[in-house]
Amino acid sequence: MPYASNQGIRIHYRVEGSGPPLVLQHGFTWSMESWSRSGYLETLKPHYRLILVDARGHGASDKPREPAAYSLPLRVGDVVAVLDALAVGSANFWGYSMGGWIGWGMAKYAPERLHKLIIGGAHPFERRLPASDRLDGSDPKAFVESLFRRLGVDFAAIPPGKQAEFFDNNDFLALSASQLDRPPLEDILPTMRMPCFLYSGEADGVIAQMRECARLMPNATFAAFPGLNHFEAFHRADRVLPAVMNFLLGASDGRQLD
């Protein structure tokens, strides 16, 4: 099981497929396996060397329980450590939800490592969690239900098999520690010259902010998926993949990938 190390924290990653490198960064409470379970890998593998990363606090990566371990620069450093371990200079990056937040962090702290950037369900504007959502993780079910309420999704409506994925191999004390307020990053938007594709479900509360991001960016496209909420805009790969593949396989801007 391959790991990269960032300041003593081990980050688990896996490589599949062949072609230009594409980092896949999952959302909060998930792991790299969510990309496979939702049907993304078989379409992507023939075209890309996929670099799947378990974010710190998730999957088979280390799970520190101190909030200071989850700052955005450290999360970006995890991705950079994986790229360095693979001797990859720059890569395409696709992040959803929390993974999208890490993608904004890559644009802020390591833009030279990005080729094309895809962000779903996440914006770079400030976010402060209300006190009612700062659960300590001692009750995993309450923790997950609170998360879904914040996303405007009824957890009870999620099929039981999908519900179980949120409790698989998670340390909820570590997840609780990782729920930090997010600082504003929108100052980077006018500076982001790499090709960017932003998307969300039309029923996702972040849609207005993501539209605004695309307006402020010099080289961005935004797509909204009708009828999909935050959860569905990841799990409906049949809806999302055609748009993302059209972006990824579109005309190159002339840069070479390592």
Alpha carbon distance 54, 207 (integer Å): 26
pLDDT of residue 89: 98
* pLDDT of amino acid 51: 98
- The pLDDT score that the predictor gives to residue 164 is 84
According to the model, what pLDDT value does residue 131 have?
87
- Dmax (CA) of the chain: 50
The pLDDT of residue 250: 86
Q: What is the 3-state secondary structure (H, E, C) of 7-34?
A: CCEEEEEEEECCCCEEEEECCCCCCCHH
* The pLDDT value given to residue 257: 36
What phi and psi values does residue 3 have, to the nearest 5 degrees?
Answer: -135, 150
Tokens of 246: 């059209």
- Enumerate helices (H) and strands (E) in the chain, giving the number of each: 10, 8
The pair of three-digit structure tokens given for residue 189, joined into one six-digit string: 């938007």
Residue type, 9: I
What CA–CA distances, in Å, run from 199 to 26, 54, 100? 15, 22, 10
pTM reported for the whole predicted model: 0.94
pLDDT number for residue 254: 33
Q: Which residue is listed with tokens 């593949």?
A: 245
Domains of the chain, each with CATH number or no CATH: 3-248 (3.40.50.1820)
Nearest residue to 61 via CA among 52, 48, 73 = 52
Question: In a structure prediction context, what are the per-residue pLDDT tens digits for the chain, which is 258 residues long?
Answer: 899 999 999 999 999 999 999 999 999 999 999 999 999 999 999 999 999 999 999 999 999 999 999 999 999 999 999 999 999 999 999 999 999 999 999 999 999 999 999 999 999 999 999 888 889 999 999 999 999 998 888 898 888 888 888 887 899 999 999 999 999 999 999 999 999 999 999 999 999 999 999 999 999 999 999 999 999 999 999 999 999 999 999 854 433 333
